[in-house]
Structures are given as structure tokens and as C-alpha cells.
Amino acid sequence: MTRRGMGRTENDEGAGNPSGSNQPQGFYPGAMPHGYHSFSPLPAGVLGHGPPQGHSPPPHSFHKDERSQKQYNKLKKKLEAKQLREHPLNTTPPLSPRKELNGNSRKGVSSVGTSEDGEESSSLQDEEEDVNLLTELLGNINVPQVSEVMSRTALVQWSAPKVDNPQGLNYEVLLSDRCKEGKYKSIYSGAALSCRIEDLKPGTEYLVCVSARLDNVVGCASEPTLFTTPPCKPDPPPAPKLSGRNRHSLTLKWLAAKDNGSPIERYIIESELNGNWTEISQSKNKQTVISKLQPATSYTFRIAAINQFGKSDYSPSVEYHTCDSPPPQPLPVTLTHSTPTTLTLQWQARPQDDEFTLQMEDPDSDHGYLAAYSGKETSYTCHGLKKNSLYKFRLKSQNEDGVSRWSEEAFFSTLPGRPGPPGRPQQDGKMHGQRCKLKWEPPYDKGGSTITNYTLEISKIKDGAEFKTAYRGALPACTIERLEPGSKHSVRVCCEGPGGVSDFSEVAIITTDPICPGQCQPPRLHGKPKPHSIHIKWNYPESDGGSPITEMEVAMCKRVEGNEELVTAYKGKETECIVNDLCPAQNYALTVRAINKVGRGPWSNPLKVTSGNSTPSRPSAPNLSLSPGAVSCSWTAPDHNGSPITQYILQMTTPPCENYTSVFSGLSTQCDVKLVPPATLCVFRLQAVNSLGSSSWSELSTIMTSPSSPGSVTGLKSTATPTSISLSWGLPVSNGDPVTHYIVDTGDSSTTVTETNCVIENLSPATTYRIRVRGVNGVGPGSVSSLRVSTLPLPPQPPQLSCTTVGHNYLKLRWGLPNSNVNNYTFTVAMTSPSSRRTVVYEGTNTICKVSRLQEQTSYNFTITSANTTGKGPESEVYTFTTCIAPPPYVKGLKATNVSHRSCTVEWAPLRPQGNDSIEYTVQCARLREQVFKQVYHGRDPHCDVKDLDAGAEYLFRVCAVRQSPKGPVEGSYCQNINVSTPPIHHENPPQHCVRTHNHQVNLTFKRRKNKQDAISKPVDVNEGAGGNRPLTDQQWAGIILSVFIVLAVLVAIIIAHSIY
């Protein structure tokens, strides 16, 4: 939207802005009025009707009085004087106080004390108050007036705010479309008091408001003014489009035109003929059909919209033409190439042909002609056809004017193809050992012709030989002879026709019937024959009979009662075995045969072999008898098996132990075994040895020995207390005679008990004892078991409990020095509250604890106990400790208001009374450069007035709460300091370049507002001037003392060094 400023003042004529330019002034979001969101300014000459980004301004509720006008004049004079001091050569200082906050001039805000030329700078708080006051004055602007409202333009006028010298003000005009949710956008920014709005929408309601701006300070926007633009004739509609046509008619469509506030009644369609436009149709809809046209003729059209305010301008003209005659019948297609599954066709293209449609018919189907191709090409290849089959084809052409008749039919046939593979060969009838009968199915795909020949090939799987032809003929069956019995063969077949030879069928596996295996070679001896076994080996027969060997059988010829019998010695798939259970030095005959699933083969020729000598036979069990302190053993000599016996070995063990120990070795057939265990079952066995080896062990012989004294007790355990020891142990080995009692010896005394436990009492605490225990039976006392045991120490006494720190809600207790718990005692502190509730507040090894969450001025009772590994000791006496009174809380919200040249008001958030105690406040004040606080107020009110301050000075204020308890006032901690700067006083005469230093007292008067009491005045010393005499601070005194101390230390060190050297 374009904006044109039209300023109307006494000294200015025409439109324009203060800079003399006719261009619209830019809008800066940083200077938006209060209550508006930021947005981007519109480009010159364009009004955006998209979704606005601003919001409606708040209601105007500012009032101007005489006090505001005086403050405005005072602020303006202050700014002019300040700019004159900073820019003495500038004759036109800026009027905006916000400029003092930008750039380097902002540095003077935080300065403290007297500057070099004696002038005091204004504080940031004063600047902000001035800006707020100026904003209120600028917001006092009247509602804008709208006149000369046209369909697309309107004139907006407004008056300046009621301030002195409004020539330096700029204005911002904001516009909102009522249908766009009432959001505003800037349309003009400048110093003029009027502007003309263009590019408005007819028949639309608008809201317009204006705001004033002085430099970067923007006032609130005025109340909005509502105005409505009158409707007008429609906009030109877009050009019509062609939606359909034929030889004698055209169908046109178009989009709706903008109605500009009045509904469109109808559309007028005109056509051009010989340079003249003629109305040919009227329509209320957005389409029409124009008929009775000439074929193949071009026509030009345009349209216009009409509402109650008139007819719109015409749309752009468009040109369309009707259809022509379709092409004539084409020639039939011709065949260029054929295969068993494809036909390649070709046809001629004429100038009037744009596209072609080719159809094909399969005589074997009932679907008739089907579409095969559609496009602009003049050749096409039909795929997926049947082999050796006849097909019909026809063709038609078309262009944008129509479709031709179908061509004459053309007949073409595909070539015959290779037949498919026949079915897999199958067995026909019973299988024989050397011949078999096979058959197969003809192929499903015969290539479009008949099969003339079959070829059968066979290959032996075992040899991995190549396939060889076994049959060739026209029948799908044959008989194969001269096959190997029990063998597997691979068989496949293929067929042949006019189209060629097919692929082979799937391979079939046939197997002939097997027979029994042939005779094996005689077995052979492997290694030297042993006395009780012979190791032999053999080979499989040369012929397995067509079936795999499942088992080999070895037989041994054995003479029984004068007759020879074959006894099976081995059955299995291995080609070797060991024949066992033979007698030494005996003659044997061994033979072997093979077995398959058909049956057993013949026995081989026998192998004759003689077994060797052997170890002695197994001896009989030894005879046992008891003798004094020993066991007598005797036995009978076994057979030596051809080799003399060289020695006998006798071994013994005691169950449940299974490890035998040799007790005799020699040629004698008897012996005495001594040192046998008492009352124990003893087991003996015997073995004979010759030059060939040892015999197997004899059967076992057992005997029970005489009883003896018991063994040592087991599992001796102890449990100690300070004055006693409890003992327990397990039963010892009785050695054949039951244990009658036990003897317990501590060195100083001895005790006899019958049980496996006892308690030794009246012992000394923390003393080590050696205890010995042994059992006694009818034979005598047994072995001794000993144990070292120490008694426990006594429980510790409670320590002295004391209170080290007292708080209003906690107590710190101590019962010893840090790290003094060398014995690692565990302390338990119990507390009894005034409600007689007893709780444990600490349990551990430390010597100090803190008890929290207590009540102020309340007495609590405490007791303490100590515990060690023995147990918990006695409880101490009751200790009573009392908490102190709680100080008042921290004061918050301290601030200073109504700051003037000589006075200010200090306020803070009031505190609630603590119980029945009231709260009073103490206020302290100090100069920022000195930071020496003095009390200036004490009372119950949460505010005070401070007067007689120095203009242009920096002060620090702080406040603390004082609790007025019956026992006396309790003062809390001071809050954080606040900085208060009094504004400077501007003198008419320029300041002198000299500084006078003097001291005087300023009376700070504080008055109570709620009660009518006398004002409390306290004198406060205030130092003025950069060179005034000021008292030294604590930090300065500390620095002086430290410097003197360092100088004295250096002098003493020099004197000592001279005296030594």
C-alpha cells in the first residue's frame, strides 16, 4: 500500500516529511507503542493483505494535567541544559531524553561522588522515570479523522498531542482489516499530520489509529477509527480456457473474477470477426458451449463480468480452433520377422496420421480382437505368442480431428519351436538283476508339432561315468539289458521334433536287485599270539553281490567231547578283531565270511594258530586267624600255567578305605601281619607272580581285630564371655569300646563330664587359657585335643556429655576429644523431649553430634551409653540442655522511592510477629565512597523518610529486623545494601575550576506515618569535595600497620645477620 504524507501546519504547505522527502518513513520495531508486537514494515507502494502480525492497541486511558505539563517542561529544559554542557558548539541540541542513554553518554549514569568539574551526573533510575513520563505525554493523542473515502483510497488526518513545541514529533499510522482478526500493520511513519491510503479493497471495513514518537520514545496509540470503502465494478476476469471441442462446437471455462464488494450477476462472452468484437453468449455460470461453428476454423474469444456497479474490463483474448476430418483407412500391416514366440509387424505412416492403434486376435480364444499397441511408431513386435500358431491383425490411425476405419485383416503364423523336456523315466514292472523296463510321459510343450524320436541315456553312479545312449526310437518306453546286479544307474531322456531337440528330462535313479557276497580270503595273524587272545585281520570279498556288506562274522573251531564245533568269536563291520578267552598253548582254527541284506556268503579257508604261555592262575582266598597283636594268614599255591611262581603278594585294607597296602611278599604260603588297627574289620587279598607276569587278585578274606583306647575328640569349639568359656566337641573314635566320660583340663583345674560340652566359669576377663580335652573308655584314656581361648573384656562405662554450641533450633553435643575413641566404642545418644517422647538421635563411633529440628527456648534431656564387642554398658545420668531464642528473619524487598535532590523514602516488606514478640526495624545509611554506616531510624514501621541529603551524591542503605522478646531485643542480620543516587542541582553560573573542602552535619529526619509521634532526628557527618579530610577506614589502618610491621621485621633481620656474621 502506498502512503503519501500530507502535512498541514502554519509554516508548511503540501505533503512531505521533516526531511523534505516524499518517500514514506521507515518504521522501526524498537519504537513500537506499548501493547504492540513487533512486525516488519511494508515496502513502499504496496499494502499487504496477508495475515497481520500485530494486535489491536489497548484502550486509551491517559489524562493530562497541569503537573504533567510542568514536568514535561522541566524535563525538556534539563535535557537542553545537559546537551549544551556536553556539546557547547551545537546550537540545536536533541530534544529526546532517550539519546542520553545511548553511546558513551551512558557511562555517566553509574559515576559516584563529585566529577572533575564539580557537576553531578543523573542516575539510570531518573532517566527511566523521565522516559515513562514522556511516554504518557506522547500517548495523549486524539482519534484520527478519515475523509475522502473512495473504493481504493482514503485520507487520514490527526492532530498533535497537547505539548509545547510539537515540531520534533514523528507519527506512526497503523491500519487493520476487520476480516483479518483485527491485527494492525504500519502504513506510514513521518512528521506530517495526514496521509492518503491507497490500494484499499472496495467494500471492506478498516480500522486506523495513530501514535506519536519523539526520537526513540513512543507513546500509546490512539483509539481506532472505523471506516468502510464503497464497492465498485468487478476486476477483469482471467482468460477463458478450452475444456472440450469437436468439429462444430467449443466448450470454454474460466475462473471467477473479484466482485469488489458486489456479487457478479453474469458474464459476457465476445468473439472477434474481421477485427470487430461481437457478443455471442451470456452466462451466469463460469462455462459456456459455443455451437454452430465451422470445422477446422480458428476463433478468438474474450469475457467480461457485470455487477450492479457496471461491467469490468475485458479479459485477455484467447484463440481456439475446431476439429478437422479424421484420417482415411490405412493399409494392412506387413510381417518383417517371426520367431516361435514373436511376430514383428510394420505399417506406413501418412502426413495426416498422428497415432496408431494395433489389435490382434488369437483364433484359439473367444476374446476377439484385443489391443496390442498404441503410439506413434510404425513397427511393433508382439511377444509371448504360441508356437506354430496363426494370428490376425488390424490397424487404425487417428489425429486430433478423429479416428480412421480399421484396415483389412492380415494373417501371420509363428514358427515351430523346440519341444519341452519329457517326463522323468519311471520303472515299468518288476526290477531284475540284469535288466529293467522303463517308461516316460511325452512333453507337455511339443513346440507346436509332433514328436518324431526319443533318446534314452544311462550312466553308472558308482563309477561316475558319462551318459551313454541306451535306446533311440519313437515309442515312450524301452527295456535295458546287461546291467550289473545290485548297482545304481542314472537315466535321462530327451525328444526331437521339427523345431529341434529338447532339453533332457529330470534324472531318474534305478537300482538292480543284489545277491549274496562272494567268498573271503583266509584271515591273517596280526602280531604274536598271546596266551589268552589272538589278533587277526581280513579283507572284504571282491564281490559284495550288489549290496553293501552289513556285517563280517569270525568263527573259531573248538573241540567239544571229541567233536569239532564252530563258535562265533566276532560280528561287526570291522576288518580285524581280537579273539579272547583262549587257553594257553592250545591249537585253534579261525575262519571268516561276509554278510549283506540278501544273505551270508561262504566261509573262507581256516587259519590255524597256537596260543602262548600265560601268567599264574587266580589263587584262592587266604585263610585268616587272630593271634596276640597280629593276624595269621595262609593260602594254597595256584596253577603256574607253564612258568614257575616266583613270589606271592599279600595286601590289606580297612573299609571304607579302598586303597590296599602290601603286608607280605615272598615264596612262603603263610605269614603273620602285625600292627593292625584295633576293633577294625581288616580285608586281605592274594596275588601270584611268575616270569610272565602277575595273576589276578584272589577273592577277599575279612577278620575283626581286638578293641583299644579311644581316639582324640573332633571339632573342638569355644564361646567366650568375660567370666566363662563354653566348650563343645564331637565324638572321638571309640576303637571298639564305648567312651564313658571326658576329661577337661584348663591348667589350674580339671573337670570330668559325660556329655560332649561343658561351661568353665569363674574366669578372669581378658585372659587367655589353654584347654585340653580327651575321652576315656574301658581300655584307657585316649589322645588329647587342645585349644587356646581368651575371655572377653567388660562393657565400657558411659562418658561425660557436654553441650558445645547452642542454637535456637539445634544443639551440638560432645563427649570426648576428636580421635580419642581408640577402642572403637559405639556411642548411643538418646533424647527425651518435653512431651516425654524418647528417641535415639545418634549412634556411632564419633565423639560429637548435632541435634536439629528443635524448638526455641526449650529444655531437652539427654543420656549416653557406650558399647564394645562384649555389649552395651550402663546408661549415664540425665543431662539437660536448653535452646536459645530465634533471631528475626532476613528483611526482603528493600527499595528507595520518591528520590529527590535532598530526600528519599526507604521501604521494605514487613515481617510477621514471632509468637507474642513484636518486630522493630533498624535502618543504617552510609556514603558510597566511605561505607561507614550509621543508624538513621529505629521503629516498627516498614518505611521511613530520609531528608537533608546532599544533591548528586551516592548513598548506601540497609535494614535489619529486631525481635522484642521479654528477655531483651534480638537483632537479625542486615539485608543486602541498595544504592540510592540523588539528582544534581544545576546552577546558572558555570562552575569554577577549584574545589573547596568543608565538613558539615546533615540532619536526617525520619517521620512515622501511622502514629503521631515526634520525628526522630539524628545528625550524620557527610564529607563533600574531592579533597576533603576523611577518617581512615579499617582497611587503610590495617595496611598501615602491616607496612610498619614489615619494615620492623626487615630491620630486625638485618641486625641479627650483622651480629651473627
Rounded Cα distance, 776 and 783, in Å = 9
**Which pLDDT score is estimated for 82?**
53
- Of the candidates 287, 292, 389, 305, the one whose C-alpha atom is nearest the C-alpha of residue 340 is 389
Q: What is the mean pLDDT of residues 536-549?
A: 88
Q: What is the mean pLDDT of residues 305-322?
A: 92
Cβ pair 160, 166 in contact under 8 A: yes
**Which pLDDT score is estimated for 158?**
92
Rounded Cα distance, 148 and 1021, in Å = 71
**Which pLDDT score is estimated for 116?**
37
CATH assignment of 714-790?
2.60.40.10
Q: Give helix 124-138 / helix 66-86 axis angle, nearest 10°.
A: 130
134 or 703, greater pLDDT: 703
CATH assignment of 895-1030?
2.60.40.10
Helices and strands (H, E) in the chain, number of each type: 3, 72
Cβ pair 540, 604 in contact under 8 A: no
The residues, any chain, with a CB within 8 Å of residue 854's CB and separated by 6 or more, are: 807, 809, 810, 811, 860, 883
Rg (CA), the chain: 65
Mean pLDDT in the chain?
A: 81
Burial of 585 (0-12, 13-18, 19+ CB in 10 A): middle
Rounded Cα distance, 212 and 140, in Å = 9
Using DSSP, state whether 1039 is helix, strand or coil: helix
Instruction: Indicate the pLDDT class of residue 277, thresholds 50, 70 and 90.
Output: very high
Strand partners, 34: none
**Which pLDDT score is estimated for 334?**
94
**Which pLDDT score is estimated for 68?**
57
What percent of the chain has a predicted confidence (pLDDT) above 70?
83
Summarize pLDDT for 849-867 with one digit per residue, the tens.
999 999 988 999 999 999 9
**Which pLDDT score is estimated for 1014?**
37
Task: Give me 515's grid cell.
Answer: 545277491
Rounded Cα distance, 681 and 659, in Å = 14
Instruction: Indicate the pLDDT class of residue 1039, thresholds 50, 70 and 90.
Output: confident
Q: Residues in the chain, how many?
A: 1061
Summarize pLDDT for 957-985 with one digit per residue, the tens.
999 999 998 888 989 899 999 999 999 88
Instruction: Indicate the pLDDT class of residue 319, thresholds 50, 70 and 90.
Output: very high
Rounded Cα distance, 166 and 9, in Å = 11
What b/e string do you get for 352-378 counting C-beta neighbours within 10 Å, with b at 16 or more? ebeebbbbbbbeeeeeeeeebbeeeee
Rounded Cα distance, 1023 and 1032, in Å = 13
Strands (E), 165-309: 170-177, 184-190, 194-197, 205-214, 217-218, 225-228, 241-245, 250-253, 266-273, 276-283, 287-290, 298-307
The residues, any chain, with a CB within 8 Å of residue 324's CB and separated by 6 or more, are: 247, 295, 296, 399, 400, 401, 402
Dihedral angle, C-alpha 709, 710, 712, 715, nearest 10 °: 180
Summarize pLDDT for 869-924 with one digit per residue, the tens.
888 889 999 999 999 988 999 899 999 999 998 899 999 999 998 888 899 999 99
SS3 letters across 337-370: EECCCCEEEECCCCCCCCEEEEEEECCCCCCCEE
- Of the candidates 329, 302, 67, 39, the one whose C-alpha atom is nearest the C-alpha of residue 176 is 39
Rounded Cα distance, 355 and 403, in Å = 9
The residues, any chain, with a CB within 8 Å of residue 717's CB and separated by 6 or more, are: 727, 728, 729
CATH assignment of 623-704?
2.60.40.10
Residue recorded with cell 480399421: 406
Cβ pair 12, 191 in contact under 8 A: no
**Which pLDDT score is estimated for 139?**
83
Summarize pLDDT for 924-950 with one digit per residue, the tens.
999 988 888 999 999 999 999 998 888
Burial of 710 (0-12, 13-18, 19+ CB in 10 A): buried
Summarize pLDDT for 420-473 with one digit per residue, the tens.
899 999 988 888 877 889 999 999 888 888 888 999 999 888 777 788 999 999
What CATH fold (topology level) applies to the domain 241-321? Immunoglobulin-like (2.60.40)
CATH assignment of 426-511?
2.60.40.10
**Which pLDDT score is estimated for 363?**
79
Rounded Cα distance, 394 and 360, in Å = 7
**Which pLDDT score is estimated for 440?**
92
Cβ pair 863, 877 in contact under 8 A: yes
CATH assignment of 3-228?
2.60.40.10
**Which pLDDT score is estimated for 72?**
60
pLDDT of 1007 strictly over 70: no
What CATH fold (topology level) applies to the domain 334-413? Immunoglobulin-like (2.60.40)
Summarize pLDDT for 805-849 with one digit per residue, the tens.
999 899 999 998 888 887 888 999 999 999 989 999 999 999 999
The residues, any chain, with a CB within 8 Å of residue 807's CB and separated by 6 or more, are: 854, 883, 884
The lowest-confidence range among 387-396, 625-634, 896-905 is 625-634
What CATH fold (topology level) applies to the domain 802-882? Immunoglobulin-like (2.60.40)
CB atoms within 10 A of CB 489: 20
Burial of 312 (0-12, 13-18, 19+ CB in 10 A): buried
Summarize pLDDT for 643-696 with one digit per residue, the tens.
888 999 999 998 888 899 999 999 999 999 988 888 888 999 999 999 888 999
**Which pLDDT score is estimated for 97?**
31
Rounded Cα distance, 78 and 72, in Å = 10
Summarize pLDDT for 392-425 with one digit per residue, the tens.
999 999 987 788 999 999 999 998 888 889 999 9
Task: Give me 993's grid cell.
Answer: 575550576
Burial of 194 (0-12, 13-18, 19+ CB in 10 A): buried
pLDDT of 1028 strictly over 80: no
pLDDT of 44 strictly over 80: no
Residue recorded with cell 514292472: 429
Pick the CATH number of 524-610 from 3.40.50.720, 3.40.390.10, 2.60.40.10, 2.40.30.10: 2.60.40.10
Rounded Cα distance, 133 and 138, in Å = 9
**Which pLDDT score is estimated for 305?**
94
Summarize pLDDT for 713-759 with one digit per residue, the tens.
999 999 988 889 999 999 988 878 888 999 999 888 888 998 999 99
The secondary element (H helix, E strand) that includes residue 591 is strand 587-595
Q: Which amino acid is at 503?
A: D
The lowest-confidence range among 112-116, 120-124, 587-591, 675-679 is 112-116
Instruction: Indicate the pLDDT class of residue 67, thresholds 50, 70 and 90.
Output: low
Summarize pLDDT for 546-601 with one digit per residue, the tens.
888 999 999 998 765 667 788 889 999 999 999 998 888 778 899 999 999 888 99
**Identical topology for domains 524-610 and 623-704:** yes
Q: What is the pTM of this model?
A: 0.33
**Which pLDDT score is estimated for 86?**
52
pLDDT of 1025 strictly over 90: no
Task: Give me the residue spans of the domains in the chain.
Answer: 3-228, 241-321, 334-413, 426-511, 524-610, 623-704, 714-790, 802-882, 895-1030, 1032-1061
